Amino acid sequence: MKNILLLGAGRSASSLIAYLLHHAPTENWHVKIGDIVVTHLHTLVDDLPFAEAIVFDVHNDAQRETEVKQADLVISLLPAIYHIEVARECLKQGRHLITASYVTPAFLELHAEAQQKNLTILMESGLDPGIDHMSAMAAIEHIRAKGGKLTSFKSYCGGLVAPESDTNPWNYKFTWNPRNVVLAGQGTAKYIKNGEYKYIPYHKLFTRTEEIYVEGYGQFEGYANRDSLSYREPYNLLDIPTMLRGTLRKAGYCAAWNVFVQLGLTDDSYSLEGSEHMSYRSYLEAFLPPVTNGQTIEQRLANYTGIDADGTIMQKLAWLDLFTEKPVELAGATPAQILEKILKEKWQLSPGDKDMIVMQHLFEYELAGEKHELTSSLVVKGDDEVHTAMAKTVGLPVAILAKLLLQGKITQHGVVIPIHPELYQPVLEELNAYGINFIERETVLA
């Protein structure tokens, strides 16, 4: 019997858990699920002899050592900052690890030791990063196999709300960690276009977007991720003239979000004095210039940020109750924490709501003297507010890779991402059975 230890049973884990429990009897697995709260898991595992749920504290050194030692494979869906503690324990105990999170410098320091111990630390194995790598590499290798030379690669992904559940003026609801949404894009975005390096500072990021069309779903807008350059080497695209990775939102979102950026409401670096006594209105007021000429707060906001006082952006802001006396009720809060609270009240998925994942790769390549464009698009909808598209697209690739690893079909050791055919080909093939597949459209450019 193989023992799997899954750490983290939050909103992105539902499809992963369902997959592991479904395959456990035939694969001869014992599945142990640990999290700080596991009451919601009892109905899933209490009657299964091959599964259990335990209260787990990643900071409890003794518990972490004991549980990792008993596992053959550890899967971590904990918040990303805790993965490194789990990884070091896995190395100490000689256990494999899979996560959906980005490789960091701290993880790269573990690469040589993991290789020496014939251990696999498989990362970036969810949606973005994860399915984006796998699907991109499959397309890139297909283009190369027929003799094509890539000249441009752009990749966008977004966790959005499905059209049938799109019921607010922002055309957005939380399908992922709200804090990460509030802090998204901070830093400087860097990419390459036509052989020239480009940089977008945070305060300009949401004003420099690209229109993206997805057949059957209309127009979206994409803004650049912080680092589009680091994947040139893993993808073997060091000489590509254009490469950009970005995030998708519905049209109109970025211009409205830019108001928060310009005001400083997404800043998480300091606390506001007396935040517990603030209202939403006084919170907003704290970031505006002093009152002049008896203007309303709405007029002052419009003048300060350059938006239309009667336009759609102002309507979006008003819908969030920003101009009301609703109390903040958060002591010692940062601007970003208050903004997160405001948005969580309005952007939660309601019962029965469906989310939607949209990913699109745009390739340009030269073949036999002709220029080609290949567009590869993925749209996945959730079933409801629990079994979300986000949970499917994050959890299923992790689960499939876990099965492959325990079956001995993954031979890569060290810190690995799924850019190798032995990893991405079987995952993409099995994802097709779950309706997670890309639609490709290719044209010859004039």
> Please, which residues bridge with residue 157 across strands?
247, 359
Name the 3-class secondary structure at 50.
coil
Q: What are phi and psi of 249, to 5 degrees?
A: -140, 165
Name the 3-class secondary structure at 49.
coil
Percent helix, strand, coil in the chain (nearest 5)?
Answer: 35, 25, 35
Confirm if 138 and 129 have CB atoms less than 8 A apart. no
Closest CA to 150 of 336, 366, 376: 366
72 assigned to active site: no
Confirm if 217 and 358 have CB atoms less than 8 A apart. yes
**Annotated catalytic residue: which of 46, 47, 57, 128?**
128
Q: Is the peptide bond before 163 cis (omega within 30 degrees of 0)?
A: no
Which positions ≥6 away from 352 have C-beta within 8 Å?
165, 384, 385
CA distance 402 to 408: 10
Q: How many CB atoms lie within 10 A of CB 37?
A: 11
Which residues of 36-187 form beta strands (DSSP E)? Answer: 51-55, 73-76, 96-99, 120-122, 149-161
Name the 3-class secondary structure at 408.
coil
* Residue given tokens 């080609």 in the structure block: 372
Angle between helix axes 312-319 and 253-263 (nearest 10 degrees) is 70
CA distance 26 to 112: 34
Structure tokens at 238: 């060091």
Torsion 330-304-222-238 (CA) sign: negative
Name the 3-class secondary structure at 422.
helix
Which positions ≥6 away from 20 have C-beta within 8 Å?
4, 6, 29, 31, 399, 402
CA distance 155 to 133: 10
* Residue given tokens 């994050």 in the structure block: 394
User: Which residues are part of the catalytic machinery?
Assistant: 128
